[in-house]
Amino acid sequence: MLALGCGFANAAYPDKPIRLIVAYPPGGGTDIIARLIAPELSRKLGQPIAIENRGGASGNIGTEAVVNSAPNGYTLLMGNVAPNAINVSIFKKLPYNPEKDLAPISLVAITPNILVSNLNVPVKSVADLLALAKASPGKINYPSAGNGSSSHLAGVLFDSMGGVSMTHVPYKGGGLAMNDLLGGQVDIFFATMPAAMPFVKSGQLRPIAVTSERSSLAMPSLPTISDSGLHGYSATTWYGLYAPKGTPPEIINRINQVTLEVLKIPELREQLIQRGFEPVGNSPKEFANFISSEIVKWAKVVRIAGIEPE
């Protein structure tokens, strides 16, 4: 454990359990990756890590809870692209600043979204979906993990580049959206790959394409949307660890070191890849620079798509 000077007393970090907040309900990609890496982080840090799901407002509620927590390393956030890069362009009054109010620890993983349909929808390819959507404007609907989420913007980008108009149905998390897709209440889903993979493998959902510019390590034979008629299409999701701003650098560096060690464990890497995650791991400074570039990138997508801030 890390010894930290604090006045006349010395405290070791960590010397009590840690909370890892996920700003979405259980079942989505952010929740899945948090539950995969938490046991290994716990083992290396020597303290229990309790995952707390705080869903709502496209990830803003859980993120704000971390921002308002004591900066002592005992409350962490498993963030993702939506609340930590996209929402600043989606919400007029975001209750936090993603660059100023959080301390980046490490980018954990990147994953493409995967375009899937329920088995009742007569589409097997991007061309099929475009043809159906053009024949019946507004009839095809797609859910998302919330307004401004990667699954939402992936659909907006598809509409824009494909010259079609599908109906967006926002949910309070990807897991809830997935339940309704499986139940047939919605048609297609630009889902996070980790959330969709079990249902694709079991034959409950039909895979159509991945949203990255190159094929996925988890499903290398599945075409990309870019190679299926919408050249240049790209929409990926990423996940990273954060602490509240003001957390001592020694603690940030300790968690970063342990995270990098965990992401090198062969068995864990294989689990992540099989679920559609591509493990990364970098320094706090590298992660901060990445976040800044992502905020700029998605602001352009939001502007091009004509989404008005809420």
Cβ neighbour number for residue 300 with a 10 Å cutoff = 10
Each domain of the chain, given as residue ranges in start order, spans 2-110+237-305, 112-228
Least Cα distance to 222 among 233, 237, 211 occurs for: 211
- pTM for this entry: 0.82
pLDDT in tens, the chain (310 residues): 555 444 333 468 999 999 999 999 898 889 999 999 999 999 999 999 999 999 988 899 999 999 999 999 999 999 999 999 999 998 989 999 999 999 999 999 999 899 999 999 999 999 999 999 999 999 999 999 887 788 998 999 999 999 999 999 999 888 899 999 999 999 999 998 888 999 999 999 999 999 998 888 889 999 999 999 999 998 888 999 999 999 999 999 999 999 999 999 999 999 999 888 999 999 999 999 999 999 998 898 888 777 777 7
Asked if domains 2-110+237-305 and 112-228 share a fold, the reply is yes
- 213 SS3 class: coil
Fold classification of 2-110+237-305 (topology level): D-Maltodextrin-Binding Protein; domain 2 (3.40.190)
CATH of domain 112-228: 3.40.190.10
- Strands 102-118 and 205-210 turn out to be antiparallel
